[in-house]
Structure 1
């Protein structure tokens, strides 16, 4: 019997839905205390995930959910970056080469 490849699942902090790690956007707080959008998903430090939906990002901002998960206030610029990356992903463009922070 062969097993399928393991797909890491993560939960969106905005809507609490669970999904494939690659379908979500990661926000990281580095050990130095800097908060940035982590498109690679590999930065060291504490992380939280949001859906690529502007509604989830807006809900997370309004409820200050990312502040709690990252244990530090999240600057407004981070939410702007998240909305930009979400719009790129929903249009089907690749944002792998975009700066993250």
Structure 2
């Protein structure tokens, strides 16, 4: 009982005993450590098709919406502001096909049923057609 009274108790916690360099470590294992991510590119998202990461501005957001008949369908969220869970995808037909083949869109959007992908496919085809003069438009 006397030892408790004579020993001062630090109220600062365990980090103060670890030293000043502890706070310079990354916050978690998932924190990007690349110079590109640290330089302020912006939010980084993962494509559900190819699983590559990229800036939010380079990927396409897709959400589930119901049509007039009540059937769920994928819709392109061009403004990136629609409510609900979204999935991110490169505006590339290859990534869309890979995501469909792997059934990644349904998993990412947490939707168990089949989804109509025709609106997303049309949007990606239009983007490929407008991508530049050197490209052959998709038909």
TM-score normalised by L of structure 1: 0.70
Are 1:62 and 2:133 counterparts?
Answer: no
The 8 Å contact of residues 66 and 74 in structure 1, kept in 2 or not, is answered as no
In 1, distance between residues paired with 2:54 and 2:114? 23
Q: Which runs of 5+ in 1 are unaligned?
A: 94-101
What are the Cα deviations for residues 15-65 of structure 1, in whole angstroms up to 9, with x where unaligned? 0111121221111246xxx55321111111111111111111011111110
2-structure distance, mates of 1:42, 1:49: 13
1:51 is the counterpart of 2:90: yes
2:48 counterpart of 1:13: yes
**What residue ranges of structure 2 are gaps of 5+ in the alignment?**
1-38, 66-71, 132-139
Runs of 4+ in 1 over 4 A off after TM superposition: none
Match of 2:76 in 1: 37
From the CA coordinates, give the structure whose radius of gyration is larger: 2
**Aligned-residue RMSD, C-alpha:** 2.4
- Paired residues, number: 87
- Contact 2:62–2:76 (8 Å) recurs in 1: yes
Structure 2: distance between partners of 1:29 and 1:63: 18
Higher relative contact order (CA 8 A, sep 6+): 1
**Match of residue 115, structure 2, among 68, 75, 99:** 75
Instruction: Mark the CA change 1:19 to 1:6 in structure 2 (over 3 Å): closer, same or farther.
Output: closer
Of residues 69, 89, 97, the one that matches 2:127 is 89
